[in-house]
């Protein structure tokens, strides 16, 4: 391993640790204020759809002489309309997004479990497995409680998910650094 590779790997692991700490802090904030987190997530997602819709509409008109213009235009309009509908009814949007996030968190958990088994030989791969199992449980719980607790469950479980993701990011980065330091000494 060259000194440049060593520095790059060290920088990447430091960045992953910083991102892991940020995920943990966001998770704690969401758990502490679940209603605010739910509303914030709903607003951010709504505006993301609106902006994505505008971008897709602009892209459609930029490529209007190419095949697929109408498809791109319709998809962009649907994104924008969906975002507008969500932003004008935040509580209805929170219900819809709670359902969607339950499905997403469950799916993320399944994919993390698969990834964990693919990286069994890596140190601390169990953290990814643990995070995946917890995400599956959280996804099932969100879907089970919907729609009764949609006002708080989204903020709490997204916070827990961020917290666990931050933990495994830090743990894998620390293991990577430890392995890197060991290789540097040898």
pLDDT at 18 over 80: yes
Express each pLDDT in 78-104 by its tens digit. 999 999 999 999 988 888 888 888 899
Q: Which of 8-22, 71-85, 120-134 has the highest mean pLDDT?
A: 71-85
Look at residues 12, 15, 31 and name the one whose alpha carbon lies nearest to residue 180: 12
Q: CA 53 to CA 60: how far, in whole Å?
A: 10
pLDDT at 3 over 70: no
Mean pLDDT computed over every residue of the chain: 87
Per-residue pLDDT at 78: 95
How far is residue 23 from each of residues 20, 87, 161, measured CA to CA in Å? 5, 25, 9
Per-residue pLDDT at 134: 93
pLDDT at 155 over 70: yes
Q: For residue 60, what are its two tokens?
A: 């459609």
Let me know if 128 is exposed, middle or buried by CB neighbors in 10 A (0-12, 13-18, 19+). buried
The residues, ordered by sequence, that sit 6+ positions from 90 with a Cβ below 8 Å of its Cβ are 39, 42, 43, 46
pLDDT average, residue stretch 1-6:
62
Other Cβ atoms less than 10 A from the Cβ of 150: the count is 22
pLDDT at 21 over 60: yes
**pTM of the complete model:** 0.63
């Amino acid at each position: 391993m060259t000194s440049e590779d060593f520095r790059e790997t060290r920088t990447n692991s430091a960045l992953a640790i910083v991102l892991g700490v940020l995920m943990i802090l966001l998770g704690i904030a969401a758990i502490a204020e679940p209603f605010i987190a739910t509303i914030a997530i709903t607003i951010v997602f709504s505006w993301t759809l609106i902006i994505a819709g505008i971008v897709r509409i602009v892209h459609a008109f930029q490529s209007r002489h190419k095949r697929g213009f109408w498809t791109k235009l319709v998809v962009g309009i649907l994104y924008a309309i969906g975002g507008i509908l969500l932003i004008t009814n935040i509580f209805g949007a929170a219900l819809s997004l709670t359902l969607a996030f339950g499905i997403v968190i469950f799916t993320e958990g399944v994919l993390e479990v698969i990834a964990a088994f693919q990286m069994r030989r890596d140190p601390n791969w169990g953290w990814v497995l643990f995070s995946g199992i917890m995400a599956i449980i959280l996804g099932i719980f969100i879907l089970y409680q919907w729609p009764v607790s949609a006002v708080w469950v989204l903020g709490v479980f997204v916070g827990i998910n961020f917290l666990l993701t931050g933990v495994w990011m830090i743990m894998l980065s620390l293991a990577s650094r430890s392995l890197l330091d060991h290789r540097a000494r040898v």
